[in-house]
Structure 1
Amino acid sequence: MNNPAIADIILSTSRTHGLVGVPSGARFPQAQDALREAGFSPLPGGAFAALPHQTRAARATANALVHHAHEHGASITISSRPYLGDIGSDIAARLPGDWSATVKTYPRRHWQEDLIGSLWDSGDLLKAMLHDHVPCAVELNNHAGTELLLIERPGHATGYLVGAFATEDYDANWEEPKAPRSIVLPAEVDRAARAVAHTFLPNYRRALYQRRLDTVMSALNRIRPEHEALQTIKASHRPGDGTPHAGSRLHAQMERAFADHAWLSFRDVLQHAPLLLARCRPTASPWPQDAGALSRLRDALADSQNAWDEFNALRAELYSIPADLSAQEWSQVRSTLGTAVLPAIRTWLADSETFERQARAAVPGGHVALSAPSPRLLTTSPALPAPAGERAPLTP
């Protein structure tokens, strides 16, 4: 683990800002004071810049910085790379779509730990954020749900690392098995942007698609045993413990309890399945006869939209107050919403194999699967954390 100096100024050059200093270390305010007194102005994100117009002025600014850094007990580290903010902006400008680059600085090492839970990575980027001090980073955002993190490659004089943040849909990202692997970028911006566009982003999209598919299938697999047990009990006219049948009231109570539990899992289907269905093209697959089943699944999601909107509106309202419901109140909410989507749940359970087959055939950039899906290929992703007051989803 790298231990940064008590107060350090990482000095680099920028074609836009001239000289750029990034304060770092446990006593980074001393480095900030030195930069200000040397004529540097703050930049968004935490760096400081001075834009000398002539070589003589640049030399004078550098001399002043050395003097004030010495007065404030700060060291100066000359970077061999251009200012990272410029690199991030240049890469963003070359990526397909509308990307922005935002500089973030982490003068104290523990500040960067706030990013760890949001990163979705299985490569060197996560290792660097865990074990090295990363004083400066750039967040790349396409404003359509994809966010990347760009840092200088630790332990190397050139090159960069880029990896992904998880989407807002997911919170449990630590050691997530489907996480994409961050890649090393070359120093040359055009080549770096091509590597992001043609290597990293396709890998990221495939990994995210697979994660969504696993989430949906895991949700259905959690619901199925309880649904089958409920149907068996109703068909036999006897409850599962062998006591005499108590009539339709007991059946209604059991169905409400099932709806309560099933909603916890089926909301994963409502959240992720629409994006998967949008890619399915049965006529382009070996199973064109699946079109009818996919149409039923889409209709089931459409019929569940009001319940999904109501759930999200309630969560937003409770978050904004802030407030919470008791466990009993949440149970009543889930039971009501789950009851509203019971027809959709039955449809998705009935056509789940067809859905999985078509979804696997539609993996971004992948080859069409030529065989039926196997349950052994499924990797169960961790369920989304329940809102405060809710119970965790039941698993079979």
Structure 2
Amino acid sequence: MPKHVRRSLSSTRRPATARPRVVTSERPYRGDIAHVVAEGLPGPWDVDIEHYPDGTIPAHLLDWVWEAGPALSTLSKYRTSCAAVLRDGGGTELLLTERLWDGSYLVGTLLPSPDHVHIVGTGAPRTIIATTAHGAAVDVRSRLLPEFEQLVLLARLREVQEDLQWVRDAEPGSVDAVDLEAALERFLSHAPYLIEATRRANGKTLPAPDAAVLVRFESLLAPVQGDSRTRGRGEPGDIDAAIALWLESGENLVDVVRASADLAEKPSHPAIATATPPKPPTAVAATGRTR
């Protein structure tokens, strides 16, 4: 056999140790993108990757997307192999996925658990659309999270106000003890967040009267705050004092929080559609009056 033929054959012969090549997508793995975004956000975040063999994001997950706008709602019409859910451990959850037709990354917030706060008529944080993971992290940190925190704070304020108005408008002796306890529970769950938001709002120094309102609430609520399973088992005097302070000065606290956080009744951005949260299981549904 001529030498040039042997050389040609040997160049095409596969070595015995050769392995098949796996050709992967040029697009980065969604989990890697999610971790890059998480690392660019304040505080620690957990990342869970969900895979969808049928190429469809489950409806029950899309139902929890806070902004039910076209950016994320149209994803149900296209194949999506996976998505990521980012959690900060404090109740903030983000959904990250990708638009296959242009490669953009989408990040939206999931509705807060109804056990924590009921979101009604507050607008919604606008979904992030970015071409890179680092760009997504910047937009989430600078816009999405601040909008989320402001709208959750506004929802907490509204819930406190609704409960106060309900108690004040009720006929004497007509308020059921169970309903009153449930309303107090809601206030005790919201008060720490309201006070914390007020103290950190824009680095402002509070006027002396406003600071006094916060100190008064902190000192009287501390004995009855904590684990909800033990709340109510404390000293009756502490509970009575908390109820009295809530009913007498709750509006003062709301006014201080609203002024310091510069909250408007409506979000600064245009009104947008919001998702309707699924009905919580009976075991975790909030007790007390029906809204």
| Fold match by TM threshold 0.5 | yes
Distance 2:263 2:285 in 1: 40
Matches within 5 A, 1:313-332: none
**Paired letter, 2:66:** W
- From 285, 288, 291, the equivalent of 1:393 is 288
Long gaps (5+) in structure 2: 1-17, 266-276
Counterpart secondary structure, 1:119 = coil
Distance verdict in 2 for CA 1:394–1:192, change over 3 Å: closer
The offset of 1:120, in angstroms, is: 2.5
Larger RCO (CA within 8 A; separation ≥ 6): 2
Does structure 2 conserve the Cα–Cα contact (< 8 Å) formed by 1:264 and 1:393? yes
What is the root-mean-square deviation of aligned Cα atoms in Å? 4.1
Does structure 2 conserve the Cα–Cα contact (< 8 Å) formed by 1:385 and 1:392? no
Q: Which residue is equivalent to 2:183?
A: 265
Distance 2:35 2:251 in 1: 45
Does structure 1 conserve the Cα–Cα contact (< 8 Å) formed by 2:150 and 2:263? no
Q: Which residue is equivalent to 1:107?
A: 53
Long gaps (5+) in structure 1: 1-55, 63-77, 231-253, 314-335, 374-381
The offset of 1:213, in angstroms, is: 1.9
Does structure 1 conserve the Cα–Cα contact (< 8 Å) formed by 2:86 and 2:93? yes
The offset of 1:262, in angstroms, is: 0.9
Matches within 5 A, 1:1-396: 57=19, 59=21, 61-62=22-23, 81-108=27-54, 112-128=58-74, 131-153=77-99, 156-168=101-113, 170=115, 177-186=122-131, 188-226=132-170, 229-230=171-172, 254=173, 258-281=176-199, 284-285=205-206, 287-305=207-225, 308-310=228-230, 341-363=239-261, 367=262, 388=283, 393-394=288-289
How many pairs are equivalent?
Answer: 261
The offset of 1:180, in angstroms, is: 1.4
The 4+ residue runs of structure 1 with deviation greater than 4 A are 129-133, 169-176, 336-340, 384-392
Can you list the C-alpha shifts for 1:222-250, whole angstroms capped at 9, x where unaligned?
A: 22223xx32xxxxxxxxxxxxxxxxxxxx
Does structure 2 conserve the Cα–Cα contact (< 8 Å) formed by 1:171 and 1:385? no
Does structure 2 conserve the Cα–Cα contact (< 8 Å) formed by 1:213 and 1:273? no
Distance verdict in 2 for CA 1:390–1:150, change over 3 Å: closer
Does structure 1 conserve the Cα–Cα contact (< 8 Å) formed by 2:48 and 2:86? yes
Does structure 2 conserve the Cα–Cα contact (< 8 Å) formed by 1:109 and 1:135? yes
Counterpart secondary structure, 1:284 = coil
**Paired letter, 1:207:** L
Identity of aligned residues (%): 29
Q: Which residue is equivalent to 1:317?
A: none
The offset of 1:136, in angstroms, is: 0.8
Counterpart secondary structure, 2:230 = helix
Counterpart secondary structure, 1:291 = helix
Distance verdict in 2 for CA 1:386–1:224, change over 3 Å: farther
State the TM-score, normalizing by the size of structure 1: 0.54
Distance verdict in 2 for CA 1:93–1:133, change over 3 Å: same
Distance 2:150 2:52 in 1: 31
Counterpart secondary structure, 2:107 = strand
Does structure 1 conserve the Cα–Cα contact (< 8 Å) formed by 2:37 and 2:134? yes
Does structure 2 conserve the Cα–Cα contact (< 8 Å) formed by 1:120 and 1:176? no
Distance 2:287 2:115 in 1: 15
Distance verdict in 2 for CA 1:386–1:172, change over 3 Å: farther
